[in-house]
């Protein structure tokens, strides 16, 4: 709890001090130190300030200052701050508390305190930030070699040397200004959550650009440690850096790390603990010298702000003065409750005019230039460039894959290779899984007596789940290719290659990254649009991303392409993906012309060096996606399959009614002389075999069932595109998740034979190559799943765009399917 929440007469123990370094020092000098008791004595009539008793003295604190101090009741604090038990383990884990010293080895620090350290991880895109997070917190967040992988805060916790470290991985950002969404997100987190320590990940081989973010953290006066990540690349260039001296100059300790090999991470965590305990000699608050002209304007503004009692204590006065000079909108919002804000704004505007007139540039540009001057000066004394050209291989590869004439054909070839592999390599394990589920069905049928339960298990659960599970190998192969493209750096080149085409539709290449991510899943792809600075471009990208065929649609596409176009399945699959891109481009162009003004946002995107993807990261990415797919099979798809079976099985016909079910005519034909035929002949009251055969349909369900009624209701809408009521049911059930199309068809076309759903579909006669092509186009462009609709509403900030996506995508899907069906009729 916060000290400001303590009621009069209550006593608590101080456990943590937040706010900038200068504030913490002043508070500590007043007696507010960790482990000390503090009592709330008196709340003023206006509830500000509040009188506290600490160390025998009565001290007045304003409410916003007291909110920077975290306290606990005495009993809770006693457990929090008491010495930990003596451990005999080399590493501390949750089970050590019960080992009672029986393991026989010696723990390095037996009296470490059980503390909690809140750590925020910040850094530029491609700085290896998420690799550090994965290595420390043992999480499975995907690491991509392009910007925008981390689009939201990821959290993880772990124990280290008696401390519980809560680590938050913040979005990659080049600065902490109020320009792009991720910059605002990072700054809001630092302002509102006030982490104890910041780990600032920088690329060791590209310090000049990466250290700009470090200078902003210096201005904020937040305790930080710099992880000089990918240090092996700096050494490979033959470069040298005196990182100890550089850290001393900047007042921030610097630790070399290679996150993908876990090198230097122990030292990094040791430094985090030293900073938390106040035992690190490198850390100190410095004032970056912005030059005489800027400093002359900062000093009077800072002095005026320093006198205020209501200034937020998260960051120091000098930082707020700099932000007012830069006319930072987020800073103005944070200072909105300050009584003196109008006067400060007037002073800042006059100061900015003075800087403009004397330096010829606006205050923000002048301050940024001074930061780079500070960085260059520090590197001049500590950094020696290497003679080796580490990016030579990258430039050689780019001459080929990013070539003006060869780049696009190579991209198409990569897509073709991916889809061909999905079919060719995935066919063998798919066949094994099909046989496995066939065996499950036969085993269940032999054990469970005939009736509704057997039908539910065999034709409902096993058939529905099996029809989806068989595509796990293809999902794995798809994500293998996506992971390799992301981790190697080729994904960023794909955006570069597509930039010119994206400009034609009023966007830029940066929008292509979410579109490519959409091949995996539309939800994180839509979230990745946060890296797009322009709001109009961001909204357009959000709306067109669902046209990218996600992995949930992949089983449907593979099923129909393999069943009805077996000789050209890979080309059909690639053609569908390209069709999605073409429709997305057309939609973006339409939205730009009809709704949004032309946006000339520059295409500023990093092209990182090529790197070999690590086997561990690739396998982890594949397994993570496979696990998500399996989890969905065991939850959403299983439940939906049971519901679909129930709706297809009931209501049962009254006694004497004819039940129309799949395969009845075939069964009767095969068992004309059997007793079963005689029994069924009696059930239909003397009707002969020919009458039964005429009235029997090749459907997998009772045509008088609830689901048949629903299918017949939508059939008139789908008839012009060559679909019947069964495919209508499959489309309706795809609303929660697109994989349900396959499981629904598995239930609708389930048979007693050992044949796969592919053979059942072809044998049914419901689909021809013409209607199958129409169905493929419709499911490709049909509005996305519920989770994606929710992501659209969340990222655009409006439900109307989510509704627009539902209506527009459905209309586009119907029109495109109609055109394909009509062309198929002509051919």
- For residue 534, give both structure tokens: 């322009």
SS3 438: helix
For position 389, what pLDDT does the model report? 64
With contact defined as beta carbons under 8 Å apart, do 610 and 129 qualify?
no
For position 592, what pLDDT does the model report? 85
Q: Which class for 345: exposed (0-12), middle (13-18), buried (19 or more C-beta within 10 A)?
A: middle
CA distance linking residue 18 with residue 195, whole number of Å: 8
Query: Mean pLDDT across the stretch 171-192?
Result: 82
Q: What is the pLDDT of residues 493-533, one digit of tens each?
A: 877 777 767 777 677 666 777 887 788 788 878 877 876 76
Q: What is the pLDDT of residues 597-634, one digit of tens each?
A: 666 555 456 667 787 887 877 887 788 778 877 887 88
More confident residue, 745 or 697: 745
With contact defined as beta carbons under 8 Å apart, do 177 and 183 qualify?
yes
For position 752, what pLDDT does the model report? 54
Q: At residue 489, does pLDDT exceed 90? A: no
Q: Distance of CA 218 to CAs 22, 371, 493, 515, Å?
A: 12, 11, 34, 37
Q: What is the pLDDT of residues 713-751, one digit of tens each?
A: 989 999 999 998 889 988 988 887 888 888 888 878 866
CA distance linking residue 310 with residue 45, whole number of Å: 17
For position 140, what pLDDT does the model report? 56
The pLDDT confidence band at residue 685, using thresholds 50, 70 and 90, is very low
CA distance linking residue 735 with residue 745, whole number of Å: 15
- Cα angle 123, 271, 614; round to 5: 50
For position 127, what pLDDT does the model report? 86
Which range among 50-59, 415-424, 488-497, 596-605 shows the weakest confidence by mean pLDDT? 596-605
For position 29, what pLDDT does the model report? 67
With contact defined as beta carbons under 8 Å apart, do 103 and 92 qualify?
no
Query: Mean pLDDT across the stretch 130-143?
Result: 76
> Above pLDDT 90, what percent of the chain?
23
pTM for the full model? Answer: 0.67
Q: What is the pLDDT of residues 529-550, one digit of tens each?
A: 876 767 788 899 899 999 988 8
Q: What is the pLDDT of residues 360-380, one digit of tens each?
A: 888 988 998 899 899 988 998
Q: What is the pLDDT of residues 560-588, one digit of tens each?
A: 998 899 888 889 998 998 899 889 988 98
Return the axis-axis angle of helices 243-250 and 207-220, rounded to nearest 10°.
30
Q: Which long-range contacts (CB under 8 A, 24 or more apart) does 655-659 make?
A: 656/683, 656/685, 657/704, 658/684, 658/692, 658/695, 659/702, 659/704
What does pLDDT average to over the chain?
Answer: 80
With contact defined as beta carbons under 8 Å apart, do 283 and 253 qualify?
yes
Residue listed under structure tokens 């130190």:
33
Residue listed under structure tokens 């690590």:
614
Query: Mean pLDDT across the stretch 311-337?
Result: 90
For position 668, what pLDDT does the model report? 39
Q: Which backbone phi and psi does 158 adopt, to 5 degrees? A: -160, 160
**In 10 A of CB 443, how many CB atoms?**
12
184, containing H or E segment: helix 181-193
Residue listed under structure tokens 């200072």:
335
In sequence order, what DSSP letters do the residues of 565-625 get, joined into one string? -GGGHHHHHHHHHHHHHHHHHHHHHHHHHHTS-----------PPP-PPPHHHHHHHHHHH
Which residues are registered as beta bridge partners of 241?
A: 383
Query: Mean pLDDT across the stretch 220-245?
Result: 91
Report the range out of 144-153, 664-673, 744-753 with the highest average pLDDT: 744-753
Q: What is the pLDDT of residues 253-280, one digit of tens each?
A: 999 999 888 899 999 999 999 999 888 8
DSSP β-ladder status, 50-54 and 37-43: antiparallel
Q: What is the CA radius of gyration of the chain?
A: 33
Q: Distance of CA 601 to CAs 100, 502, 535, Å?
A: 63, 12, 10
Q: Which backbone phi and psi does 577 adopt, to 5 degrees? A: -65, -40
Q: Which class for 113: exposed (0-12), middle (13-18), buried (19 or more C-beta within 10 A)?
A: middle
Q: What is the pLDDT of residues 275-310, one digit of tens each?
A: 998 888 888 888 898 988 999 999 999 999 988 888
SS3 149: coil
For position 142, what pLDDT does the model report? 53
Q: At residue 171, does pLDDT exceed 70? A: yes
Query: Mean pLDDT across the stretch 15-43?
Result: 78
For position 353, what pLDDT does the model report? 93
More confident residue, 548 or 648: 548
Residue listed under structure tokens 């570069």:
496
The pLDDT confidence band at residue 213, using thresholds 50, 70 and 90, is very high
Q: At residue 551, does pLDDT exceed 90? A: no
DSSP 799: H
Q: Where are the alpha helices (DSSP H) in 390-547?
A: 392-401, 407-447, 452-455, 463-469, 472-488, 490-497, 499-504, 512-517, 522-527, 535-544
The pLDDT confidence band at residue 348, using thresholds 50, 70 and 90, is very high
For position 254, what pLDDT does the model report? 95
The pLDDT confidence band at residue 97, using thresholds 50, 70 and 90, is very low
- For residue 361, give both structure tokens: 């540039």
DSSP β-ladder status, 224-229 and 115-123: unpaired
For position 202, what pLDDT does the model report? 94
With contact defined as beta carbons under 8 Å apart, do 513 and 487 qualify?
no
Which residues are registered as beta bridge partners of 59?
A: 52
The pLDDT confidence band at residue 472, using thresholds 50, 70 and 90, is confident
Q: At residue 426, does pLDDT exceed 50? A: yes
More confident residue, 135 or 26: 135
DSSP 150: -
Q: At residue 807, does pLDDT exceed 60? A: yes
SS3 661: coil
Cis peptide before 620 (omega within 30 of 0): no
The pLDDT confidence band at residue 693, using thresholds 50, 70 and 90, is very low
The pLDDT confidence band at residue 407, using thresholds 50, 70 and 90, is confident
Q: Which backbone phi and psi does 54 adopt, to 5 degrees? A: -140, 130
Query: Mean pLDDT across the stretch 98-121?
Result: 54
With contact defined as beta carbons under 8 Å apart, do 721 and 813 qualify?
no
> What would you measure as the largest C-alpha separation in the chain, in angstroms?
107
SS3 388: coil
Which range among 143-157, 353-367, 803-817 shows the weakest confidence by mean pLDDT? 143-157
For position 598, what pLDDT does the model report? 63
């Amino acid at each position: 709890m916060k000290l400001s929440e303590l009621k009069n007469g209550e006593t608590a123990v101080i456990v943590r001090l937040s706010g900038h370094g200068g504030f913490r020092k002043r508070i500590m000098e007043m007696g507010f130190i960790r482990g000390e008791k503090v009592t709330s004595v008196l709340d003023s009539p206006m509830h500000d300030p509040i009188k506290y008793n600490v160390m025998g003295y009565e001290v007045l604190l304003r409410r916003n200052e007291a909110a920077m101090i975290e306290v606990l009741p005495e009993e809770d604090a006693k457990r929090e701050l008491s010495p930990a038990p003596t451990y005999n383990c080399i590493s501390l884990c949750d089970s050590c508390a019960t080992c009672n010293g029986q393991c026989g080895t010696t723990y390095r620090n037996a009296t470490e305190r059980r503390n909690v350290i809140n750590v925020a991880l910040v850094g530029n895109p491609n700085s290896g930030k998420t690799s550090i997070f994965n290595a420390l917190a043992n999480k499975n967040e995907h690491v991509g070699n392009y910007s925008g992988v981390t689009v939201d805060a990821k959290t993880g916790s772990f124990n280290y040397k008696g401390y519980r470290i809560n680590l938050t991985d913040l979005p990659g950002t080049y600065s902490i200004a109020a320009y792009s969404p991720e910059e605002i997100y990072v700054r809001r987190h630092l302002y509102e959550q006030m982490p104890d320590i910041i780990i600032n990940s920088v690329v060791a081989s590209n310090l000049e650009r990466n250290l700009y973010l470090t200078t902003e953290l210096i201005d904020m006066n937040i305790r930080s440690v710099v992880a000089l990540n990918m240090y092996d690349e700096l050494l490979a260039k033959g470069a040298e850096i005196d990182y100890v001296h550089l850290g001393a100059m900047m007042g921030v300790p610097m630790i070399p790390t290679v996150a993908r090999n876990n090198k230097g991470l122990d030292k990094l965590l040791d430094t985090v603990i030293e900073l938390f305990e106040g035992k690190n000699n490198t850390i100190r608050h410095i004032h970056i010298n912005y030059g005489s002209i800027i400093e002359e304007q900062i000093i009077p503004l800072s002095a005026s702000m320093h006198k205020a009692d209501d200034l937020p204590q998260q960051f120091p006065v000098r930082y707020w003065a700099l932000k007012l000079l830069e006319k930072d909108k987020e800073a103005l919002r944070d200072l909105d409750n300050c009584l003196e804000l109008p006067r400060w704004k007037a002073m800042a505007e006059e100061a900015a005019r003075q800087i403009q007139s004397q330096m010829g540039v606006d205050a923000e540009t002048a301050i940024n230039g001074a930061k780079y001057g500070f960085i260059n000066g520090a590197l001049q004394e500590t950094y020696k460039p290497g003679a080796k050209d580490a990016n030579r291989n990258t430039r050689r590869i780019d001459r080929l894959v990013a070539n003006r004439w060869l780049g696009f054909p190579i991209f198409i070839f990569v897509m073709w290779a991916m889809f061909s592999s999905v079919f060719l390599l995935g066919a063998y394990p798919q066949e094994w899984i099909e046989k496995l589920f066939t065996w499950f069905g036969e085993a269940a049928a032999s054990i469970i007596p005939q009736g509704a339960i057997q039908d539910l298990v065999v034709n409902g659960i096993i058939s529905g789940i099996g029809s989806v599970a068989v595509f796990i190998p293809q999902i794995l192969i798809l994500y293998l290719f996506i992971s390799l493209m992301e981790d190697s750096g080729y994904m960023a080149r794909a955006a570069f290659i597509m930039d010119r085409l994206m400009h034609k539709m009023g966007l830029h290449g940066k929008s292509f990254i979410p579109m490519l991510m959409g091949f995996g899943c539309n939800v994180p792809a839509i979230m990745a649009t946060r890296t797009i600075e322009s709001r109009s471009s961001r909204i357009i990208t959000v709306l067109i991303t669902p046209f990218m065929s996600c992995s949930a649609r992949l089983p449907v596409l593979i099923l129909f392409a393999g069943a009805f176009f077996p000789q050209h399945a890979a080309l059909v699959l690639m053609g569908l993906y390209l069709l999605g891109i073409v429709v997305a481009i057309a939609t973006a162009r339409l939205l730009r012309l009809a709704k949004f003004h032309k946006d000339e946002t520059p295409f500023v995107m990093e092209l990182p060096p090529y790197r070999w993807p690590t086997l561990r990261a690739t396998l982890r990415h594949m397994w993570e996606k496979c696990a998500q797919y399996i989890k969905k099979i065991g939850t959403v798809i299983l439940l939906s399959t049971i519901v679909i079976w129930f709706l297809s099985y009931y209501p049962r016909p009254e006694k004497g009614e004819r039940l129309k079910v799949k395969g009845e005519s075939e069964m009767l034909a095969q068992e004309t002389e059997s007793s079963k035929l005689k029994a069924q002949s009696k059930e239909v009251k003397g009707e002969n075999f020919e009458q039964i055969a005429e009235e029997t349909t090749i459907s997998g369900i009772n045509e008088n069932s609830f689901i048949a009624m629903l299918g017949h209701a939508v059939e008139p809408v789908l008839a012009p595109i060559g679909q019947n009521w069964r495919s209508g049911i499959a489309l309706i059930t795809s609303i929660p998740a697109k994989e349900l199309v396959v499981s629904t068809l598995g239930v609708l076309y389930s048979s007693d034979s050992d044949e796969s759903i592919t053979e059942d579909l072809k044998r049914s006669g419901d689909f021809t190559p013409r209607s199958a092509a129409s169905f493929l186009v419709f499911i490709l462009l049909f509005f996305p799943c519920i989770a994606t609709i929710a992501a659209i509403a969340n990222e655009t900030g409006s439900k109307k765009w989510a509704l627009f996506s539902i209506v527009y995508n459905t209309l586009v899907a119907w029109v495109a399917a109609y055109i394909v069906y009509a062309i198929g009729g002509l051919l």
